[in-house]
Amino acid sequence: MDTEIFKEAEERANKFNLRCFLVIIIIGLLVLISNEINLFPLSKDVVRNGIFLLILYYSVPLIIYLIHDKFAKKKPSILQNTKFKIIVMICAFGGVIDLCCTLSNNVLLVIVIPPLLAAQYKHDRRIFFWVIIASLITIPVITYGAYFLGVYDRLLHKGLTEEQADFFQNRIDNATPRRMLELFTHHVIPKCFCIAAIDYIAHSITKRTSFMIEKQIDLNALIVKEVETKNEMQRAVIEDLADIVETRDLETGDHIKRTKLYVNILANALKNHNEYEDILTPDVIELMTNSAPLHDIGKIGVSDLILCKKGRLTEEEFNQMKTHTTIGGQIIKRILSDLGDEKSLDMAYDIALCHHEKWNGTGYPNGLKEEEIPLSARIMAIADVFDALVSKRCYKEALPFDEAVNIIIKDAGTHFDPNIVEVFKEIIPQFKDASEIKL
């Protein structure tokens, strides 16, 4: 859980910073266009070079993201990669250093951009502090560099005229300790203070946000633990209830275990079909599988004389046997309702009450038909009947596997949901393997 939250935080931070890059690129292009039409009194060559390098730096992470996530469509997203933020920060720093060097000391406060971007990585404070340190070091370097180079910083690759060389030498000659101290007190300290103040505010905000994230992580962990405990309690109750039935009839006990397996196989096969894809989520399948053992819990209310009778049941006895569905539903409502989980209660209740309903409406106890019957009960019906056919009972011998399969297929549209039977046909080998497992 913690890892997933940190990955999400990393992804959100990288996504925000890429959006900032895009905004800065757009602003850079607007500045370039404005300067070309003489709205700014800046050298066109200088601005062109500066904006071009800025766009180049800030485009690198965007291009990497587009290639990895949009074109190659690789998983997981590059935004979750912990090393990607290093690329982001290097490019951020490269872009602002380019502006500072191109436009001299005039835009030095743009150095605040990398720390503000680094502040987005709330769970990784190291990168934030390293960027601040680098920013504070950059300020005196750019300040003194601008002083010594002056207007020649962009002309050093050319030969200087005699007049320019004299002016440049004059700067060097005037670099007295007092002049350097004046630069430090009038330019370096104020700019460092401004950047430190802005970054301190940003860090304070992100620190508070980080605290909230950590609290959220702790809360999520507590919730997960409570859910797991509750699920364990539910499973224990279900197993105990199923054991009650098993103690009365050993055949029924094995039947419970096999039908649970059949339900799981059939539900997982159904989820691959578009009709059930959104319904049979992993959580629903797990809930259905765990509820399956309770489908015959109502048999504890049926007489042993009927439950274990070797011969054919009389009409009166069969009517009593039918009551195990309603008895089962009542037991589940009475016992599982105390656990406070409506989903588990509803699923187990539907299976216990409706697993003997038939697609054509001739089943019991309520004569439901077609999709009036809950999906979980329709799946349970096939698992229940199939296992009854291939298993030996006190009143009958086991049928061969192929014969049991043919009966299920033949009863599609009458006893069973025809759509589910079609899926059943696709997974007959899995049912075969499951039927041969020794329990």
Residue-level pLDDT at 157: 47
Residue-level pLDDT at 239: 63
Q: What is the CA radius of gyration of the chain?
A: 37
Residue-level pLDDT at 104: 64
Confidence of residue 160 (pLDDT cuts 50, 70, 90): low
* Percent above pLDDT 70 for the chain: 78
Cβ(195)–Cβ(136) under 8 Å? yes
Helices 401-410 and 375-390 pack at an angle, to 10 degrees, of 140
Residues 6+ apart with CB under 8 A from 117: 17, 20, 88, 89, 92
Per the model's pLDDT, the better-predicted residue between 340 and 181 turns out to be 181
Mean pLDDT is lowest, of 151-155, 174-178, 290-294, 307-311, for 151-155
Residue-level pLDDT at 383: 93
Q: Which amino acid is at 149?
A: L
User: Could you give the count of Cα atoms lying within 13 Å of 212 in the half-sphere of its Cβ?
Assistant: 7
Residues 6+ apart with CB under 8 A from 266: 379, 382, 383, 420, 423, 424, 427
Token pair for residue 389?
């056919």
Residue 31 has pLDDT above 90, yes or no: no
Over residues 63-100, the pLDDT tens digits come to 999 999 888 888 888 988 888 989 999 999 888 888 88
Residue 233 has pLDDT above 70, yes or no: no
User: How far is Cα of residue 271 from the mean position of the Cα atoms in its chain?
Assistant: 20
Q: Which amino acid is at 193?
A: F
Cα end-to-end distance, the chain, whole Å: 35
The SS3 of residue 82 is coil
Give the CA distances from residue 31 to residues 22, 26, 38, 39, 314, in Å, rounded to whole numbers and listed in that order.
14, 9, 10, 9, 94
Residue-level pLDDT at 326: 92
From the list 387, 390, 388, 383, the residue with the least C-alpha distance to 416 is 383
Over residues 366-399, the pLDDT tens digits come to 999 999 999 999 999 999 999 989 887 777 788 8
Residues 6+ apart with CB under 8 A from 368: 354, 357, 361
How far apart are the C-alpha atoms of 298 and 417, rounded to whole Å?
24
Q: Which amino acid is at 27?
A: I
Cβ(387)–Cβ(255) under 8 Å? yes
- What number is the average pLDDT over the span 162-184? 73
Residue-level pLDDT at 168: 64
Size (the chain), residues: 439
Residue-level pLDDT at 154: 47
Residue 105 has pLDDT above 70, yes or no: no
Over residues 112-158, the pLDDT tens digits come to 888 888 878 766 778 878 888 888 888 888 888 777 766 554 444 45
Cβ(262)–Cβ(315) under 8 Å? no
Residue 362 has pLDDT above 90, yes or no: yes
- What number is the average pLDDT over the span 99-113? 77
- What number is the average pLDDT over the span 179-187? 81
Token pair for residue 209?
């946000």
How far apart are the C-alpha atoms of 283 and 227, rounded to whole Å?
13
Residue-level pLDDT at 438: 65
How far apart are the C-alpha atoms of 51 and 58, rounded to whole Å?
10
Helices 375-390 and 250-270 pack at an angle, to 10 degrees, of 130
Instruction: Give the chain's mean pLDDT.
Output: 81
Per the model's pLDDT, the better-predicted residue between 52 and 159 turns out to be 52
Instruction: Enter the DSSP assignment of 394.
Output: T
How far apart are the C-alpha atoms of 96 and 99, rounded to whole Å?
5
What are phi and psi for residue 396, nearest 5 degrees? -160, 165
Highest mean pLDDT among 32-46, 104-118, 349-363: 349-363
Give the CA distances from residue 309 to residues 164, 179, 302, 305, in Å, rounded to whole numbers and listed in that order.
115, 110, 12, 6
Residue-level pLDDT at 107: 75
